[in-house]
Amino acid sequence: MNATIPNANSVIGQPLSRVDGPDKVRGTARYAAEFDIPDLAHAALVHSTVAAGRIAAIDTARAVAAPGVLCVVTHENAPRLPYKEMKTRPPVDPQSGEQLHVFQGPDILFNGQPVAVVVARTLEQAEHAASLVAVTYAADGQATDFDAAEPERPAKATEEGGRPAEAGRGDADGALAKAPVSVDVRYSQPREFHAAIEPHVTIAEWDGDRLTLHDKTQWVDNAANEIAHVFGMGKDAVRVISPFVGGAFGSGLRTWPHVTIAAVAARAANRPVRLELTRRELFQSVGFRPRTDQHLMLGADPDGRLRALVHEACGETSVYEEYAETTVKPSLSTYACDEVRTSYRLRRLNTNTPCPMRGPGTVTGVFGLECAMDELAVALAMDPVELRLRNHADRDQAKGLPWSSKELKACYATAAERFGWHRRSPAPRSMRDGDLLIGWGMATAVYHANRSAASASATLHPDGSVVVRSAASDMGPGTYTSMTQVAADTLGLPPERIRFELGDTAMPSAPVHGGSITMASVGNAVAAACRALQAKLGELATCARQGPFAGAPIADVVAHDGGIGRREPPYRVVAYEALLKQHNLTHLEATATSAPGSETDDYSSSAFGAVFVEVQVDPELGTVRVPRMVGAYDVGRVVNPKVARSQCLGGMVQGLGMALLEQGEWDPRFGKVMNANLAEYLVPVCADVRELDVTFVPGSDTNFNPLGAKGLAEIAICGVAPAIANAVFHATGRRIRDLPITPEKLLL
Ligand code: MOS
């Protein structure tokens, strides 16, 4: 039953306010730390103060004797954990190396590694007792200097994970040597942190051999699976609950060591335990965007057509895991070019392992590529938009496939028009506002569109309401709201009659809430579950011996405005709830799964965008302000323009942080981030953010998935940092190639 009578008042596309907004404003939305568990005890961690070596001695006597302490766990008394290998590693984990095995031995792999956990009746007692644990170390063999570490070719496992050490086509180096115009430039970006407001926290509670975790996570199913493997249990023995997430941006994709520690502590204390990471601990416990150096060489004809593109990148990883990013991938498909070479290398340091953050890899690579394109435009004396149009990729050359949809040219045109780009005078330092130098810059944004199998259930209740469930997550983008709209739209019900629930492994399984895949994955599952419910209702309507549709073939019975009716007019509609009543049912439930099919063999899918920014640079102080930013995006169908716009505002602000403010200050002497707090790790505040203008170009990508949505999140951070860097060049004539663009770099 695929056909529905077209719904004149489609709920999809409406700017519905967040359905969970009132709960969040009232404080009744419960985040992981906020669950009231009887007898809850509290945990505090003790961390290594050296970057490499061994624990020589650990003395917990004073901690054990401190008031309120229930237990202290170290490598000397911790249970040996199986850490069973997973058959297939989840895509959010590094594909080679071993995750940190907590309290399994004396070895120290990084400064800040947990070496003990103290459980006490109150948090204050736990923190005090943790300060009494005395540890001595035999420090040895520390590798903490990025520049001194040898770049290594990523292992085979990385290639299998789609992040090869080398990729390309043609003879890029040969073509580069022959190109009439070329640029050869290096960029870098420091270690950056997710800096979500909600800290990571886990409440662990054992009931015999069953474990319940209230956890901050972007993927409850994977958290259950990973912890089950760590403890050598069946996956069904672990339940993970995570209804609200206060921002995560990638830090909640993996299941981190502190989740295991919470479970170990709860078992040792024989009580439910809450382990909440402090702000300082977040900087050493849940990953970060790795520092990455990039080298780009572009060759072009005088008419601007790219003849050669070489992109080499080198990131940092830990000594125990190989975290690789897709940094060089945008260079393989963003522009038409027959001669491309990319390479990717890693440097291993004594640090905790980096992880995906806010458009991982792509955002970094697009920063390099889009700055280099701007430098090429200057070398060619060509408008930077024109250069991009001349190299527009009509198909994905990396995959050798057409795009499932692509409205990038419309993005350039729309954003340029809204920005007023035609009024730009091209020469650097040629635009001023009083004493301030004005710069206008732009960049292309790309973010691959992916989709994973997802399941959902839809249950009709006698009051006519429908509860839709999927073990998805909502770290802020508005999953609760947009899924409510998809369900309402499919069922022809007003959104008030839908309740969407997520964040519990007891629900039908969902993929990771990351990589901007939630709408394309869970959205289609929700629509499929609602259609399955309709089909069941249609059968009820049809098989009624007497009733409005006695004898009608199922194919003729369709959903219509909250009920079931005939396909051909005149419609007779019988309300969903009336059907339940007729058949003496307390409820009716349907479950469905939606998965990608052969379309991935036929098409390459990506979100696209164009970002234009204005900067004001004070030549005396070196300060950069961004009075306005204009973005136009092709994200396929927009389910809710209000939350979609909010997503883009957030992404633009994150891009502004990347361009001007964010940097982890890594001290190679200690192997430690020195500004591990929100006073010194700078993120944009309201005063930094001025006018942000967001437009979605019309489109619906039904080649990619039935809903037509390409996924919207990370595309919005993409392109912002290079647009700002390019605008700073236009304002000042200075290329700052090392992020962030801080005043001292402009004054030097
Ligand atoms: Mo995103 S870095 O996939 O949460």
pLDDT digits (tens, 9 = 90+) for 642-660: 999 999 999 999 999 999 9
Which ligand 1 atom lies nearest to the CA of residue 514?
A: 3
Q: Does the pLDDT at position 9 exceed 70?
A: no
pLDDT digits (tens, 9 = 90+) for 316-361: 999 999 999 999 999 999 999 999 999 999 999 999 999 999 999 9
140 in a structural domain: no
Cα–Cα distance measured from residue 728 to residue 615, given in angstroms and rounded to the nearest whole number: 6
Pocket of ligand 1 (CB under 6 A): 218, 249-250, 253, 356-358, 360, 514-515
Q: Does the pLDDT at position 155 exceed 90?
A: no
**DSSP labels, 89-125:** --TTS-SEE----TTSSSEE-STT-EEEEEEESSHHH
Mean pLDDT value across the chain: 95
What number is the average pLDDT over the span 468-490?
A: 97
CA dihedral of 389, 393, 395, 400, whole degrees rounded to 10: 170
- Active-site annotation holder among 321, 322, 339, 714: 714
Q: Residue 211 carries which side chain, given as an amino acid letter?
A: L
Tell me which residue has tokens 């004001």.
616
By percentage, how much of the chain surpasses pLDDT 70? 97
Distance of CA 534 to the CA centre of its chain: 33
Ligand 1: distance of its center to the CA of 491 in Å? Answer: 31
pLDDT digits (tens, 9 = 90+) for 484-505: 999 999 999 999 999 999 999 9
**What are the b/e assignments for 330-345, b being 16+ CB within 10 Å?**
bbbbbbebebbbbbbb
Per the annotation, the verdict on 714 as an active-site residue is: yes
Q: Does the pLDDT at position 1 exceed 50?
A: no
Strand order in the sheet with 306-318: 166-169, 340-349, 306-318, 292-300, 181-189
pLDDT digits (tens, 9 = 90+) for 84-102: 999 999 999 998 899 999 9
499 in a structural domain: yes
Enter the tokens of residue 534: 């309709």
116 in a structural domain: no
pLDDT digits (tens, 9 = 90+) for 188-205: 999 999 999 999 999 999
Cα–Cα distance measured from residue 262 to residue 275, given in angstroms and rounded to the nearest whole number: 6
Tell me what pLDDT residue 570 has. Answer: 63
482 in a structural domain: yes
Lowest mean pLDDT across 220-234, 369-383, 531-545: 531-545
Ligand 1: distance of its center to the CA of 318 in Å? Answer: 20
Residue 211 class from Cβ within 10 Å (0-12 exposed, 13-18 middle, 19+ buried)? buried
360 in a structural domain: no
pLDDT bracket for residue 8 (50, 70, 90): low
* Number of domains forming the structure of the chain: 1
Tell me what pLDDT residue 299 has. Answer: 98
Alpha-helical segments (H) within 179-293: 220-231, 257-269, 279-285
Which ligand 1 atom lies nearest to the CA of residue 92?
A: 3
Helix, strand, coil abundance in the chain, percent, nearest 5: 30, 25, 45
Q: Does the pLDDT at position 3 exceed 60?
A: no
Enter the tokens of residue 610: 């164009």
pLDDT digits (tens, 9 = 90+) for 276-332: 999 999 999 999 999 999 999 999 999 999 999 999 999 999 999 999 999 999 999
Ligand 1: distance of its center to the CA of 411 in Å? Answer: 24
503 in a structural domain: yes
Cα–Cα distance measured from residue 162 to residue 685, given in angstroms and rounded to the nearest whole number: 37
485 in a structural domain: yes
By percentage, how much of the chain surpasses pLDDT 90? 90
Tell me which residue has tokens 């990319």.
342
- How many other C-beta atoms lie within 10 A of the C-beta of residue 644? 24
CATH number of 553's domain: 3.30.365.10
pLDDT digits (tens, 9 = 90+) for 588-633: 999 999 999 999 999 999 999 999 999 999 999 999 999 999 999 9
Domain hosting 571: range is 21-30+452-595
Q: Are 116 and 130 a contacting pair, CB within 8 Å?
A: yes
327 in a structural domain: no
